[in-house]
Amino acid sequence: MARVTLTQHLIEQQRAGRINADLRLLIEVVARAVKAISVTISKGALADVLGNAGSDNVQGEAQKKLDVLANEILLQANEWGGHLAAMASEEVEEVHQIPFDYPRGGYLLLFDPLDGSSNIDVNISVGTIFSVLKNPPGEGEPSEAAFLQPGRDQVAAGYALYGPSTMFVLTIGDGVHGFTLDREMGSFVYTHPFMTVPHETSEYAINASNYRHWEPPIKRYIDELVQGKDGPRGRDFNMRWVAAMVADVHRILTRGGVFMYPVDAKCRDKGGRLRLMYEASPMAMIIEQAGGAASTGRERILDVIPQKLHQRVPVVLGSAAEVERVEEYSRQG
């Protein structure tokens, strides 16, 4: 039986009326950029791509060489296609406009080019996250305001996981579908149809070193998990933490559980740790489409109205019952 590729899957979605040709081609361009990033990452020290780039990003964080390379690959791949009105990257402060000599399209692309880049130098999984919005009518050269749409308005979202194999996980609002890169063929093959977050879970992902900085509701929830079968939950839980959102969320998507990066004393003045538009919203769309839930701890992430391009928020996502429990504890204070 012939294997279905990403391109074939997208063509089927177009024929079914779920996407148009421009969105299909845009997703294919992103996938081609992901393949290029995957090749670059796989070479590691052989290509002299490890270590710091000697610069900081808009967040004030030291950039890795691969942060810069992945960002450039995504920008260059998507500039000329004619499907985009503009782009925004977690690594760059301003909106990236399409060069004047290229055609413009009707979509906006946002991306975190290399999530978890601190893992690169120790050869642990990293990823890419992306989100697609429609460019509002009447926008000429899109400003930051054009991007400030709630996550529920996304027309597509996805991520790439660069692990033992490279995966491309996508939603266009009709479930979540996973594709694995066949390096010999050079194409993504449809391997994980209609991915679903398991309802029952015994795993959670959180940076426990921040425990002393957490708010009481988060401490209460984690304390219950740590107590395991001797506590109120009556069963044991395992903690897993890769320190790359893509890797941690992919585990939640495939095995169930809850991923948490709550607001704490260290990041309260910033509103949270993770970026709403580059990380939280696209992952929230994916998790909800897979039957899970995604919250700031107090409200649905997809309902948050962005106030600025690099806004940060707390994130709690995964199996719906666990997310609802965290929300309940937050309401109780």
- 207 assigned to a ligand binding site: yes
Cα distances from 256 to residues 106, 170, 193, 300, 320, in angstroms, run 36, 18, 16, 19, 10
What's the CA gap between 15 and 10, in Å, rounded? 9
Task: Report long-range pairs for 40-45 (Cβ below 8 Å, ≥24 apart).
Answer: 40/66, 40/69, 40/70, 40/73, 41/66, 41/120, 41/126, 41/162, 42/162, 44/123
Picking from 43, 39, 35, the residue whose alpha carbon sits closest to that of residue 123 is 43
| Token pair 């959102």 in the structure block, residue | 245
- How open is the CA angle 126-284-280, to the nearest 5 degrees? 60
- 115 assigned to a ligand binding site: yes
- 279 assigned to a ligand binding site: yes
- How open is the CA angle 29-62-88, to the nearest 5 degrees? 35
Sign of CA dihedral 221, 222, 227, 229: positive
- 288 assigned to a ligand binding site: no
**Helix or strand or coil: residue 16?**
coil
| Token pair 């890795």 in the structure block, residue | 64
- 116 assigned to a ligand binding site: yes
What's the CA gap between 244 and 124, in Å, rounded? 9
- 118 assigned to a ligand binding site: yes
Give the CA diameter of the chain: 66
Helix axes 216-227, 320-332, angle to 10 degrees: 130
Do the beta carbons of residue 86 and residue 95 sit within 8 Å?
yes
Picking from 286, 24, 313, the residue whose alpha carbon sits closest to that of residue 157 is 286
- 330 assigned to a ligand binding site: no
Residue numbers belonging to the annotated binding site: 90, 112, 114-118, 207, 279
Residue numbers belonging to the annotated binding site for Mg(2+): 90, 112, 114-115, 279
Residue numbers belonging to the annotated binding site for substrate: 115-118, 207
